[in-house]
Structure formats: C-alpha cells, structure tokens
C-alpha cells in the first residue's frame, strides 16, 4: 500500500511562541462505509474484491495505523466495534456518534447506522469531554452530526478541542446553501466548546475541526469555516496558499470525480502546522482510481502534524 513521509514545513515558519509546545498528529479520513461502498455507491471500475469486508477491514486498519496519529477522526464508520477492539491494543480509545437516519439502514445486510468516530492515544491525552451534536439548519436538526472531543495533554495540561463531521453530500445550489448553514452551526458549536468549562480567566482552547465537508473550496461553507471569530485556517492550504487538487478520486457511471472535499481546519493563533501527508499522484492511484485493492476508501487520508502554542498568555 501507498505511504509517504510527512512533508515538513520550512524552519522559517517556526514561531518562537510554539517552541516546546505539545505536538499533536491528527489523521482525518472518510473511511467509506461498508454498506454504502458495496450497496449504494456504484464505483463502476472498482474490483469487487477491493470491497470485501474480510480483507478490506485490515487495509482500513493499515491505513489508520500506518500514520501513528495521536488523534484519528473518521467518517462513514459502520463498524465502530471492529475499530475500537483493533485499536485498543495499540493504545487508543474511541467514541462513536451515528447519523440520526443513516442511509445505511435502508440497505441490505447493513451493520447499523454510519457515523463519526474519534480515537485518541490514552498515553498522551486524557479525555475531558465528548460532546456530540446533530447539526442544525435554520434551527432544525439535519441528518448530519459532529463529534467534539476535548483532550488534555498528560504532559503539559494544555487542552485542545478536536472535532469531526461529515456534511450533507451531493451537488446543487440548495445543497450548497444547506452545507453553508451546517458550517455556521458548526462554528457556533466549536466556539462554545473551545470556551466552555475552562479554568476562570483561561483562553479559549485550541480548535481542530476536520471532516468530509462535501464541498469544494469555492463553496460558501469553506469561507464560513475560515472567516470567523475562531480564526480557523485550513492546514493543507498553509503550504502554498492553495488546497490540494483532490482529496477523493473515483469513477461513477457519470464519469470521473476528482474533488477536494476533505479538510482539517485549525485555530492558527494556538496551533502551528509542522508537516502534512502528501497525496499520491494519478499514476500511483491507478487507472481504476479509488477504492481499489491499494486504497480502501474513495477518499484519501489527511495527516497533519501540529504544535500547540507553548505558554498561552493568561487573561486577567
Ligand atoms: P447524504 O446525502 O449526505 O449522503 C449519503 C451518502 O451517500 C454519503 O455517505 C455520500 O458519500 C454518498 N454519496 C454521495 N454522492 C453519491 C452518489 N452520487 N452516489 C452514491 N452515493 C453517494 O446522506 P443523508 O444523510 O442526507 O441521507 C440521504 C440518503 O439516505 C437518501 O439519499 C436515501 O438514499 C437514504 N434514505 C433513505 C430512506 C428510505 O429509503 N426511506 C430514508 C432516509 C434516507 P460522500 O459523503 O463520501 O460523498
Ligand atoms: Ca461516501
């Protein structure tokens, strides 16, 4: 399977405020639900053996384990117990939150609803809070969810809110508007998570909000995520100011879909990007694109190395 070292950012970017701060590696991956992948998606060029659960599950695990992330954020999880049990011996604990009316439930041989999951290394972090939310659009619950974990470093005591989400899929002006409204709800939620329950006078916690946003960078939701009081920036856009050319590459009946839909947004006042995982090129991906026997999902995983600000100034 494909792997590549993390691309390091140049030392010129290193800001003294971040030297000695806690480091945190986060993996973001839409792992492709087994029920959707086999019964719904219709990846016309994907060899059926690439989607066989008996073998695919170990390739999914390999993809997750390979990068040795401190925090693992997944979407389209419909086999949470498999991941929970397999990742436990590697030092991870995790949580799962299903979509209220998951499309998986309407498919034959489903294994329950799909949803978002977060795993973290228990040696590195204590979980101080996990807060799940059904994302609202115009104050009405949608079928999309967000999971936010507040993690406290066991060495520095610093806290970070790591959240993951999977926004409404498919094209069209109405759906683009809907995703934007979901983004607004997400920002409000993250703002309150980053501020809540901290010691009196403490600064808001660092925020990492990642997921499959089902939106190209040109969609309004991207601007909603990056232009707000949380001062979020997209980690993959910090290399040259542009998002990658794709984070998913698949062939459906209507042709090839090469899209950038997955992101890792982070609060740039409190976190610095030190490195990120590159994506394979078209040749390495192969003619039949994703998923394949080399790539277990139709989405690539995003991996980012962050450093937290070393000594956040107290507000008195
Ligand atoms: P979304 O519209 O967000 O998408 C559901 C899944 O479909 C996503 O995981 C998405 O993957 C995938 N998807 C996106 N584009 C395509 C495509 N062109 N072909 C196949 N799959 C695609 O889900 P919602 O939560 O809003 O649920 C809506 C769906 O649930 C309905 O379309 C319906 O099929 C099903 N449903 C059925 C009901 C019933 O039968 N009575 C009732 C309720 C729901 P990705 O994000 O990776 O693109
Ligand atoms: Ca999907």
Q: How far apart are CA 10 and CA 71, in angstroms?
A: 24
Ligand 1 and 106: CB distance under 6 A: yes
Mean per-residue pLDDT pooled into runs of 10, the chain (316 residues): 54 71 97 98 98 98 97 98 98 98 98 98 98 98 98 95 98 98 98 82 89 98 97 94 96 97 97 95 95 98 95 50
pLDDT at 20: 84
pLDDT at 310: 83
Q: What are phi and psi of 256, to 5 degrees?
A: -85, 135
What interface predicted TM-score (ipTM) does this complex get?
Answer: 0.94
Site to substitute for ligand 1 among 32, 44, 74, 103, most atoms within 8 A of C-beta = 103
Q: Which residues of 203-213 are buried (b: 16+ CB within 10 A; e: fewer)?
A: bbbbbbbbbbb
Ligand 1 and 76: CB distance under 6 A: yes
Tokens at 264, concatenated? 């890792």
Tokens at 199, concatenated? 């010691």
Q: Which residues of 279-305 are buried (b: 16+ CB within 10 A; e: fewer)?
A: bbeeeebbebbbbbbebbbbbbbbbbb
Ligand 1 and 158: CB distance under 6 A: no
Domain boundaries of the chain, sorted by first residue: 20-308
CATH superfamily ID and name for 20-308: Endonuclease/exonuclease/phosphatase (3.60.10.10)
pLDDT in tens, 24-72: 999 999 999 999 999 999 999 999 999 999 999 999 999 999 999 999 9
Q: How far apart are CA 72 and CA 35, in angstroms?
A: 21
Number of the ligand closest to the Cα of 137: 1
pLDDT at 197: 66
Atom of ligand 1 lying closest to residue 114 CA: 9
pLDDT at 303: 97
pLDDT at 198: 64
pLDDT in tens, 128-156: 999 999 999 999 999 999 999 999 999 99
pLDDT at 311: 62
């Amino acid at each position: 399977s494909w792997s590549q070292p993390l691309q390091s950012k140049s030392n010129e970017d290193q800001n003294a405020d971040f030297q000695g701060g806690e480091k945190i590696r986060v993996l973001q991956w839409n792992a492709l639900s087994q029920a959707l992948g086999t019964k719904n998606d219709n990846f016309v060029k994907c060899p059926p053996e690439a989607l066989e659960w008996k073998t695919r599950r170990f390739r999914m695990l390999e993809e997750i384990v390979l990068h040795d992330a401190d925090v693992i954020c997944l979407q389209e999880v419909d086999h949470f117990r498999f991941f929970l049990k397999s990742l436990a011996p590697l030092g991870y604990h995790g949580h799962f939150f299903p979509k209220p009316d998951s499309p998986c439930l309407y498919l034959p041989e489903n294994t329950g609803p799909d949803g978002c999951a977060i795993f973290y290394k228990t040696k590195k972090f204590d979980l101080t809070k996990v807060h799940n939310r059904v994302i609202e659009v115009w104050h009405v619950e949608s079928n999309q969810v967000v999971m936010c974990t507040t993690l406290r470093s066991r060495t520095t005591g610093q806290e970070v809110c790591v959240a993951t989400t999977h926004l409404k899929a498919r094209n069209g002006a109405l759906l683009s508007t809907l995703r934007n409204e979901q983004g607004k709800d997400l920002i409000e939620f993250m703002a309150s998570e980053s501020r809540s329950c901290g010691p009196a006078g403490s600064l808001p916690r660092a925020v990492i909000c990642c997921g499959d946003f089902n939106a190209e960078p040109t969609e309004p939701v991207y601007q909603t995520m990056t232009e707000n009081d949380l001062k979020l920036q997209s980690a993959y856009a910090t290399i040259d100011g542009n998002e990658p050319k794709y984070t998913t590459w698949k062939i459906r009946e209507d042709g090839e879909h090469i899209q950038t839909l997955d992101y890792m947004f982070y609060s740039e006042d409190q976190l610095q990007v030190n490195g990120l995982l590159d994506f394979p090129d078209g040749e390495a991906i192969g003619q039949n694109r994703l998923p394949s026997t080399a790539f277990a999902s139709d989405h690539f995983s995003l991996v980012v190395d962050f450093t937290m600000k070393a000594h956040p100034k107290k507000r008195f």
